[in-house]
């Protein structure tokens, strides 16, 4: 059974002006997401600035999120690392906290071979019992998990069940779907490709857009799952300008600014991420107003 179907939010990690994690705001964001209709919460992923969190902060954020959710929707914890032992440690600790699944990004910077990727993911999966999603985002990691490797892992390792595909390569995702023959739960990792990937057999999205529009993102997925492809497509196309604007600077700079504009958080980022350029803030405000969320 899939960890979730529909729209999972890649939730931001709110920071106070002094740079410390704002756990109270995180709890408020969890409530905003659940009331908005999101289908799952993915915590400590790229959008959650996980690469700047200490191990202790990382686990505290996961714990805070899981407690705030209280079992109302699945919680998937990002526990990947370019160090296999670190990924094992974070995954085992997240399992103790009581999350519903794990998201493992491919090792970044050291750029493993396909065999190295297989061994890395298998080692982490063998250390826990939770279901695991792989996370393929070559633009950030410099490493592409090929379809053959994803399928091999999902077929060989019982608790590796799917992949968040953010390669931007629809042809690669089509090949993955063909090779998988139903053995891989495929989630879009890009908000502008939800419908295309679901048309290839995908079952949802792990979304940046859902941070500011949980209900609308849920509707894109749910309409498709319900067979209303035309309605899903209409919502997908309506969101395209906002989706693009949320990535006019590196994620999560724009989405944190968007949440600040909505009055939900202070938009503080951790270095090396920096404040959004004024011209892009204006562009973001306009897109949010046109979409009807500001």
Active site members: 135, 164
Dist. CA 132–CA 87, nearest whole Å: 12
Torsion of CA 204, 41, 143, 170, to 10 degrees: 20
CA angle 256, 213, 177 (to 5 degrees): 100
* Burial category of 228 from C-beta neighbours within 10 Å (exposed 0-12, middle 13-18, buried 19 and up): middle
Q: Which residue has the tokens 């350029």?
A: 277
């Amino acid at each position: 059974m899939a960890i979730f179907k529909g729209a999972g939010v890649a939730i931001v990690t709110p920071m106070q002006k002094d740079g410390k994690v704002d756990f109270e705001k995180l709890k408020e964001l969890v409530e905003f997401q659940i009331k908005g209709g999101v289908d799952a919460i993915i915590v400590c992923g790229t959008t959650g600035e996980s690469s700047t969190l200490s191990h202790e902060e990382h686990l505290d954020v996961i714990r805070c999120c899981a407690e705030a959710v209280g079992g109302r929707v699945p919680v998937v914890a990002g526990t990947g690392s370019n160090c296999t032992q670190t990924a094992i440690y974070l995954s085992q600790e997240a399992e103790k906290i009581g999350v519903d699944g794990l998201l493992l990004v491919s090792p970044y910077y050291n750029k493993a071979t396909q065999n190295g990727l297989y061994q890395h993911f298998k080692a982490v999966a063998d250390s826990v019992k939770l279901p695991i999603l792989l996370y393929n985002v070559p633009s950030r990691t410099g490493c592409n998990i090929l379809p053959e490797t994803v399928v091999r892992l999902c077929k060989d390792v019982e608790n590796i069940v799917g992949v968040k595909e953010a390669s931007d390569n629809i042809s690669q995702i089509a090949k993955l779907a063909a090779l998988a023959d139903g053995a891989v739960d495929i989630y879009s990792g890009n908000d502008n490709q939800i419908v295309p990937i679901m048309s290839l057999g995908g079952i949802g999205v792990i979304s940046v857009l859902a941070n500011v529009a949980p209900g609308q993102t849920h509707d894109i997925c749910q309409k498709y799952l319900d067979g209303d492809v035309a309605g899903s497509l209409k919502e997908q196309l309506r969101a395209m300008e906002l989706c693009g604007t949320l990535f006019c600077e590196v994620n999560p700079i724009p989405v944190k600014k968007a949440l600040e504009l909505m009055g939900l958080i202070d938009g503080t980022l951790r270095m090396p991420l920096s404040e959004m350029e004024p011209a892009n803030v204006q562009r973001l405000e306009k897109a949010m107003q046109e979409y009807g969320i500001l």
